[in-house]
């Protein structure tokens, strides 16, 4: 186990004193397994929830999950309805014009999934003339608009990823694009096993897909250094690896930026 540095400890101590009120953590209101989803009792579970609990415990913050519609989650943050976004939100230059981000806490590639036997590839040549489904207001929508819209028959947007998945399973669209881990989870489901397969990961474009996933905060929020210190501490003391091994058999943190 690595020891937390004195600088980290000092930052965390300051955070404890400065943030006595509960911190409202905005999570997209729909299931996004294995990161966030409500269980049968309505309790939110998943890798991201476990990670959030570890970070909040490390920073001595009382964190309250606040389900929020994905396409309104940034306006909810800037309006003060929530304090932090924790919903697999990629760190992008476009979003940083409006909000601040913590250091990344995971970074995985984007994937295209198609019907079994379709023989499609995750590039403009493979998507030519196809109907591609993506969740609205995501980096994946932006990517498809740049690379696939010029050759595709249609880019169809959905309020939730699950709706896109179900339309692919029903044969109403030809492909979907989303985070590779989220789609891998779909492919393991009964529906996914029956209908679909991975066409592979798309070519990376960090200007669109971002530099990993981080907590989103209002511009200038003093909570930012506290969260960054807690992320570093959770990674340093082995908690991050313990949480990750409960869900994945590979590293989700990704290469250093």
CATH of 110-209, picked from 1.10.150.530, 3.40.190.10, 3.40.50.10420, 3.40.50.2020, is 3.40.190.10
pLDDT of residue 13: 45
Same fold, 6-107+211-245 and 110-209: yes
How many CB atoms lie under 10 A from the CB of residue 82? 25
The pTM (predicted TM-score) of the whole model is: 0.85
pLDDT of residue 232: 98
Across the beta sheet with 84-85, the strand order is 63-68, 23-28, 84-85, 216-217, 100-101
Say how far apart CA 122 and CA 181 lie, in whole Å.
16
Q: How many CA atoms lie within 13 A of 188 on its CB side?
A: 8
pLDDT of residue 257: 55
Assess contact for 32 and 106: CB atoms under 8 A: no
pLDDT tens-digit series, residues 206-241: 999 999 999 999 999 999 999 999 999 999 999 999
CATH superfamily of 6-107+211-245: Periplasmic binding protein-like II (3.40.190.10)
Assess contact for 71 and 136: CB atoms under 8 A: yes
pLDDT tens-digit series, residues 85-104: 999 999 999 999 999 999 99
Residue recorded with tokens 């969260």: 227
Residue 186: its H or E element = helix 180-188
Mean pLDDT score across all residues of the chain: 92
pLDDT of residue 254: 86
Give me the percent of the chain exceeding a pLDDT of 70.
Answer: 91
All residue ranges of the chain with pLDDT < 50 are 1-17
Tokens of 79: 């309006």
pLDDT of residue 103: 98
Query: What are the backbone angles phi and psi of residue 206, rounded to the nearest 5°?
Result: -65, -20
pLDDT of residue 18: 53
Domain segments of the chain: what residues? Answer: 6-107+211-245, 110-209
Exposure letters 168-190 (e unless 16+ CB within 10 A, then b): bbeeebbbbbbbbbbbbbbbeee
């Amino acid at each position: 186990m690595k020891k937390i540095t004195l600088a980290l400890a000092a930052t965390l101590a300051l955070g404890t004193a400065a943030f006595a009120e509960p911190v409202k953590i905005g999570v997209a209101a729909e299931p996004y397994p294995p990161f966030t989803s409500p269980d049968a009792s309505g309790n939110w579970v998943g890798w991201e929830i476990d990670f959030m609990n570890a970070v909040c415990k490390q920073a001595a913050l009382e964190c309250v999950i606040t389900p929020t519609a994905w396409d309104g989650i940034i306006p909810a943050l800037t309006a003060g309805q929530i304090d932090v976004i924790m919903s697999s939100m990629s760190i992008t230059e476009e979003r940083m014009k409006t909000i601040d981000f913590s250091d990344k806490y995971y970074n995985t590639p984007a994937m295209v999934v198609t019907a079994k036997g379709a023989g499609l590839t995750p590039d403009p040549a493979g998507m030519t003339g196809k109907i591609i489904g993506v969740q609205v207001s995501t980096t994946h929508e932006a990517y498809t608009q740049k690379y696939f819209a010029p050759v595709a028959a249609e880019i169809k947007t959905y309020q939730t990823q699950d709706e896109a998945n179900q339309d692919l399973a029903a044969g109403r669209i030809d492909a979907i694009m989303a985070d590779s881990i989220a789609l891998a989870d779909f492919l393991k489901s009964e529906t996914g096993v029956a209908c679909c397969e991975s066409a592979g990961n798309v070519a990376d474009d960090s200007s669109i897909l971002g530099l990993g996933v981080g907590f989103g905060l209002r511009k200038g929020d003093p909570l930012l250094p506290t969260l960054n210190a807690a992320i570093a501490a959770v990674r340093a003391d082995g908690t991050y690896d313990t949480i990750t091994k409960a869900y994945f058999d590979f590293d989700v943190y990704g290469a250093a930026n």
